[in-house]
Amino acid sequence: MKRVAVVSVGQTKFVSRRRDVIHPELAFEASSAALNDAHLSIDDIGALTMGVMDPFDGVDCCDRWICGAAGGYNKPVIRINTAGATGMSAAIAAYEHVASGMFQIVMAVSEQRVSEPVDAQTLLNTCTCPYHERAMGGSAITLGAIPATRHMYRYGSTHKQRALSAVKAHKHAMNNPYAHLRFEVSVEDVLNSPIVEWPLRLLDCCPRSDGAVAVVFASEDVARAITDRPAWVNGVVSIADGPFFGDRPDVSYRASLAIAARRLYRQCGIKDPLKDIDVAELYIPFTSLELIQTEAYGFCEEGKGGELLEEGVTWMGGELPINPSGGVLCTNCIGATAELRVAEAAIQVMGKGELRQVPNVETALASGLGGMLQFHTLMMLGSEPR
């Protein structure tokens, strides 16, 4: 068993529609950026894991098309797909490749072009159960809307509190040259934007982006030789909940997410998450999920997620900045989004964040959510190995 570190990351600029490149070229951009970042050549890479979610690319099993360009020609390649958590699962798989001692350096590459399907939500509807849920038209936005309503009812959170999450994300994204949506919004802008699915408004929701991201994992034997400040993987967790939304005890509090977080904290020896974690890159495609996640991760008490936002604890300069990159609300390339969280968390630990850098990061948390709020993946990165 080996300790594993992230030694380099690469990402493309995220936009609504990349007209100038096709899928393999997009993956190539990200993987070559990651290799250049660490001065590695493709021959140094022992194996690849690919994270692509079908069928958003308009091509089934798109990884087979792109993995050659990503560097997987005549190399071991495993393709991961766990819905929204795909990218993080690919990262976890790459971590296991290295931790098992079978490979020294492994690259996880995730790519997605969400501009390909005419309507992504129709595709997302096909992941619901065809007998019970599909006819109701549920989609990803439903996952944000129902918990938002329930959270307001149960804990008295307000539209304004959720709007702050969007304001924060867009403000942070101004510092990130790779982010898709780069404009500042005010609370009024959010509250006056058109309703997408009540109570979520347009600015409460994530965009659809094209882009790719690559993260290189290396074992303890070589990590320090590659980079002076690797980001050590100190804990990984994933958890599966049941598929039926109606079966959840209460959608406003994600019990399975809390369990996953506790398992992770136990692995990393974290007692007080708010103090011990320096920065978090969370999978927040809808503003309501910021409240739910901050509560489940123990950053605040249950039901107090809105107040945490109001107090400014999770803003840049606060005690625990969440999503200094702008997060999913500003960039969402579905299969790659969760890996982008790992990449951004690693950037923070490695101190390469430039404008979006949080000072003195020793511990960074990344999260990924997938399915009908069903698959949760968490990764803890640190400046020192556990």
**Closest approach of Cβ 76 to another protein, in Å?**
5
Handedness of CA 363, 239, 64, 118 (dihedral sign): negative
User: Do 372 and 147 form a contact (C-beta atoms < 8 A)?
Assistant: no
**Closest approach of Cβ 256 to another protein, in Å?**
6
**Closest approach of Cβ 143 to another protein, in Å?**
12
Comparing CA positions, the residue from 68, 98, 67 lying closest to residue 80 is: 67
Residue closer to another protein by CB (options 209, 374) is: 374
Side-chain-facing half-sphere of 245: CA atoms under 13 Å: 23
**Closest approach of Cβ 28 to another protein, in Å?**
13
Residue closer to another protein by CB (options 149, 256) is: 256
CA angle 182, 188, 192 (to 5 degrees): 95
> In whole angstroms, what is the distance from residue 167 CA to residue 148 CA?
17
Token code pair at residue 248? 């959840």
**Closest approach of Cβ 345 to another protein, in Å?**
19
**Closest approach of Cβ 291 to another protein, in Å?**
15
Residue closer to another protein by CB (options 144, 371) is: 371
Residue closer to another protein by CB (options 97, 201) is: 97
**Closest approach of Cβ 195 to another protein, in Å?**
26
* Amino acid (1-letter code) at residue 292: I
Q: What DSSP designation does 350 have?
A: H
Residue closer to another protein by CB (options 59, 187) is: 59
Treating both helix axes as pointing N-terminal to C-terminal, what angle do 255-268 and 287-296 enclose, rounded to 10 degrees? 50
Q: What DSSP designation does 364 have?
A: E
Residue closer to another protein by CB (options 129, 195) is: 129
Residue closer to another protein by CB (options 124, 347) is: 124
Token code pair at residue 48? 């690849």
Token code pair at residue 245? 């939304």
Comparing CA positions, the residue from 85, 336, 346, 86 lying closest to residue 218 is: 346
Residue closer to another protein by CB (options 253, 315) is: 253
Instruction: Say how many residues make up the chain.
Output: 386
**Residue 327: helix, strand or coil by DSSP?**
coil
- Residue 194, preceding bond cis, omega within 30 degrees? no
Q: What DSSP designation does 264 have?
A: H
**Closest approach of Cβ 317 to another protein, in Å?**
31
Residue closer to another protein by CB (options 127, 280) is: 127
CA angle 304, 291, 283 (to 5 degrees): 150
> In whole angstroms, what is the distance from residue 226 CA to residue 208 CA?
34
**Closest approach of Cβ 200 to another protein, in Å?**
22
